[in-house]
Structure 1
């Protein structure tokens, strides 16, 4: 069946998550920023409160995940909808721990770090890989989304700890996490560090980077921000996400058509 196809063709046709490109990272950072600002918009600006906001966004996330798991392969619109919603819910998880339960940010950071390590450990023990280029089954995808949720919660806690908990400010947080991502990129491309480790390290770090950028843009100048507000920041970033996700969707459809056209006639029966 599909196992007889060339590896690159199999990845294009059957992988349930997108190719990691520059556009991927652009949407990832934008989605983390939107998660920070949109959660604040619903919670504070609309006055829904933390509890109602959490329940509403969690329900939307569950619906999006049901749609994602119902797809046969990567679908750009559905996938990035899940990412945006899971970024919001991840933010809300940390906010509830901090604001409702009174958990210190350093404790939340430690808890989510341990939980993420456990998920990676179980995932690797069951699947023998953490590579996102082999998300061909729904079990692997389940591990993937649990890990993604924890990276957002961890990133929120770590970002808030640096910018607010330690009082270092949003500009410092933005520079710090951008620099750490730069170090990961250098380790990967200059020193050939493990690609899977570098991916997940960058994925975790883009969350506090996005949170710091979101707060920097949306918060009032008196609080260390630029004062654009949560509404403007969220809308602008969502529009950019939609545009880039649409571009990726077109690109993937072209790649699939090209991959299918390259297959010998005997293999076309297993192609989607």
Structure 2
């Protein structure tokens, strides 16, 4: 009797490179402007926009989980979906179901952030006791990937709340909020190269902070001059960010095509049963 072949695994997540961070910031900024485009500019409202973006997220996530290898376009579609859904879900929690930018109809930034922090903490606790690794370079199981995406969705929603608070209520404004988050991310980068702090911890800190950076940068680019923004609008800003994202994905595909994969298509991860 022959022994069954051992289960094989592949990487379904991208390598963390400079391009990864460029695309992550572009996707999160697009999530802010895209979410505002539907919910505010087109007056769809936060509740309806959240349902739409959550549906897109679920469909794209199922495709990602069932995929047998890493597909750049699919991965970044899910990331963009979490960013747009995170934008409108955060606004729904903080501001209410309509399209108003005040917090009178919602929980407000403080209570909303507390709720989202609790949810994200619960995900990381479950992750810790599930036996799965936090190291994104070693996530190779279905359970680990599902926890990864749950953390991303909640962190993007939380990051939107933080970004909106910095832009609207802290007195920093859009530019000041973006500068503050950008400075913190530079400190994290320096800590990566100059301190013994765990790279996994620093990765998740930077990953979470890209969302408020995207939120403040997106508002800075799209809001009117009278509101403290640069006045490019949600249409123009979203179009430029989408072009950057598409160009980066195309480059990733071209690079992957030039690289011989370590595992063949037979060494692919198990899809959802």
Give the TM-score taking structure 1 as reference length.
0.89
Tell whether 2:255 aligns with 1:259: no
| 1:6-85 matches, cutoff 5 A | 14-85=10-81
RMSD: 1.8
Which residue of 2 is the match for residue 111 of structure 1?
115
Q: Deviations over 1:124-172 (max 9, x none)?
A: 2112520111121111100000000011011111111111122320111
- Correspondent of 1:250 among 251, 254, 271: 254
Asked if the contact 1:106–1:158 (Cα under 8 Å) also holds between the matched residues in 2, the reply is no
Structure 1 segments unaligned to the other structure (5+ residues): 5-9, 261-267
- Correspondent of 1:185 among 186, 189, 193: 189
How far apart, CA to CA, are the structure 1 residues paired with 2:233 and 2:126? 41
The alpha-carbon deviation at position 47 of structure 1 amounts to 2.4
Secondary structure in 2 matching 1:192:
coil
How far apart, CA to CA, are the structure 2 residues paired with 1:216 and 1:19? 30
Which residue of 2 is the match for residue 97 of structure 1?
93
Secondary structure in 2 matching 1:17:
coil
The alpha-carbon deviation at position 179 of structure 1 amounts to 0.5
How far apart, CA to CA, are the structure 2 residues paired with 1:252 and 1:74? 10
The alpha-carbon deviation at position 250 of structure 1 amounts to 2.4
- Call closer, same or farther: CA 1:133–1:191 in 2, change over 3 Å: same
Tell whether 2:227 aligns with 1:223: yes
Which residue of 1 is the match for residue 137 of structure 2?
133
Runs of 4+ deviating beyond 6 Å: none
How far apart, CA to CA, are the structure 2 residues paired with 1:54 and 1:270? 38
Tell whether 2:198 aligns with 1:194: yes
